[in-house]
Each structure stands twice: as C-alpha cells, then as structure tokens.
Structure 1
Amino acid sequence: MLNMRQTIWVLVAIFSVNLVGLYLEWYNFFWFDMVLHFSGGLFVAMLFANYLKAHALPNAKLANILIVVGAATMIGVVWEFAEYFAHITFAEKASAAFGMRVDFMGDLDDTITDLLMDMLGALLAAKLSLRFLSRVNKGRS
C-alpha cells in the first residue's frame, strides 16, 4: 500500500491527466472519464485507509470499510459539485479562450457513472487495505 505522500502524488497526477484530457479532448473516448473516476476513488480511499491505519475502530472491520468507502464517495460527490460550478462559471470563458468547446460536466447518466466508478474504486481500495486494517486491529487487542 502506498504511503500518504505517494498517494497524494498519484492524485495530483490523476488531476493533471484530467486537465490534459480536457485540452486534448480525450473525453471523446467514453472510457477515459471512467478510468479517471475509478482511479480517483481508489486512491482517495487509499488516502483514508492510510489515515485509518492509526485511527481504525478496533474489531470493526465493516465499520472501517464503510468509513473508507463513504469518505471516498463523499469526495466524489464534492467533485461532481465542483464540476457543476466550474461548468456554470468557466465553460463559456474557457471555450472562448481555447477556441473550442469546453465542457466540465456531462449529463445525469455521466454523473451517476462517475459516482459509480468512484465507489467501485473505493471498494477495491478497501478490499486491498483490509489486511492492513486487520493488522492494526490485531495489534490493538
């Protein structure tokens, strides 16, 4: 499992790929947004799992998983709000500045798919980090 600093750098890389993808129109590939949201959910959940290594609830595996997945999903919801506000605030200006159509958000299907990918990535991170959280719980008993 990556440490917190490494995880943050991966999240910065995912965000950077997002910006490059906007500019190079990689969002025309249906899977591009899915990969970014899955990866984002995975690494945000890993960030929370790293935090939980020191603060995990003893003998509460399900609660710890729900905390990790719930926190990552909440970040995904906040991201969707940020996409919405960026769209209503900057899309027209960015389109004029770059001389091309710039969309920061899709339709409802896109938003639901984004949140689903965030949650699936978070679930995978929770599954991968289970042994680390279990070790923490065993050490506390």
Structure 2
Amino acid sequence: MVSLRSIAFLFLGIASLYGAGVFFGWSWPWAGFLWFDIVLHFFGGALGGLIFLYANRRWQIMNGREGISGFIFTLAALLAAVALIGVLWEFVEYAFYIVMQYALNEKAPTMRVQASWYADTLGDLLSDLLGGLVVFLLLHRKKKQLTAADDKKEPRIGVVSHT
C-alpha cells in the first residue's frame, strides 16, 4: 500500500513547494501567506505518516495487534511519530530563523513577534498531526477495502474454507 516511490514523490513535492516558498518569500508569517505554511506542514505530517506506515509494514513494528485495539494503538504510535518529526522540524525552523537574524544583523524580535512564533509553532504541529491522521485513515480504509475484496474471491484449490 505504501511504497518508497510514493514517499519520494511526496518528499520531492514538499521540497519543491518549500523551495518556491523560500525563493518567493511565502514562508514567513509577515509575507501574508499564512495558508502556505499550513499546507506545507499538513503534507509534512502526511509524509511522516507514510514513512511510519512503510516502516511498520517493512519491519513489523506494530506486529501482533488486531481489531480496534490495534487500530487505536497504531494510530497513537503514528501520531506520536508525526508529532516528533514536527517538533524536530520546528527546531530546524527556529535555528534557520536565528541564523537569518544574525546574517541580516537584525535586532532581537519584540515580544509581540515572539508570541506570534508560538502561535505559528502550535498551528504547525496541529497541521502535522492532521496530515498524519488523514494518511492513516485513508490507508486504513484502503486496507479494509482490499481485505473485503480478498474475502469475496473464490477459495483456492486445496484450501479449506470455514464459511
């Protein structure tokens, strides 16, 4: 269901959007494109969710959990992984901001600007989590559809059916 190709495609799409945002100045809150950052973080959360689900399938991290408890446990683990990626990215953004501040020889930001950064950070983390949640729910639905389709197929010769 999740392939390295889909992960690479989404990563390249996000990187391209981010590069365009930096080039055109869309990535900064004062540029007036607040939606742009939200979109990037949503797709970043989706990317984190895809990576988690790929790793889970490949290395069977969540192996042995079935039913609703498996669903909830996997969802919680996915959202935790996406939140961790989001927090790490916020550190990268903050470090970039500090480097740019010194590179441009700007004075320290005012308290009003700092407060807006906290709001931006919380919004970014929420967008990350929503992206991860959407990917999880879409792929869970797809898995259920594939399982239902497999159950409707004719039994193979030599396989005993208990229905």
TM-score (structure 1 length as normaliser)? 0.77
Gaps of 5+ in 2: 106-115, 148-163
Bigger share in helix: 1
Task: Give 2:77's aligned residue.
Answer: 67
Give aligned-pair identity as a percent: 30
- Given the alignment, which residue of 51, 55, 64 partners 2:55? 51
Task: Indicate the structure whose relative CO is greater, using CA pairs within 8 Å and at least 6 residues apart.
Answer: 1
Q: Highest CA radius of gyration, 1 or 2?
A: 2
Deviations 1:55-98 (A, max 9, x none): 133212211111111111110000001111121123442x58xx
Q: In 1, distance between residues paired with 2:135 and 2:44?
A: 11
TM-score (structure 2 length as normaliser)? 0.67
Amino acid at match of 1:75: I
Q: How many residues align?
A: 126
| Structure 1 residue 131 displacement after superposition | 4.3
Q: In 1, distance between residues paired with 2:141 and 2:54?
A: 12
Once structures 1 and 2 are overlaid, which stretch shifts more, 68-77 or 18-27? 18-27
SS where residue 94 of structure 2 aligns? helix
Q: In 2, distance between residues paired with 1:79 and 1:64?
A: 22
Task: Give 1:86's aligned residue.
Answer: 96
Deviations 1:18-55 (A, max 9, x none): 12202202233121000000011012101111221231
Amino acid at match of 1:40: G
Amino acid at match of 1:86: F
Structure 1: 4+ residue segments shifted above 3 A:
131-136
The answer to whether the Cα contact below 8 Å between 1:46 and 1:125 also exists between their aligned partners in 2 is yes
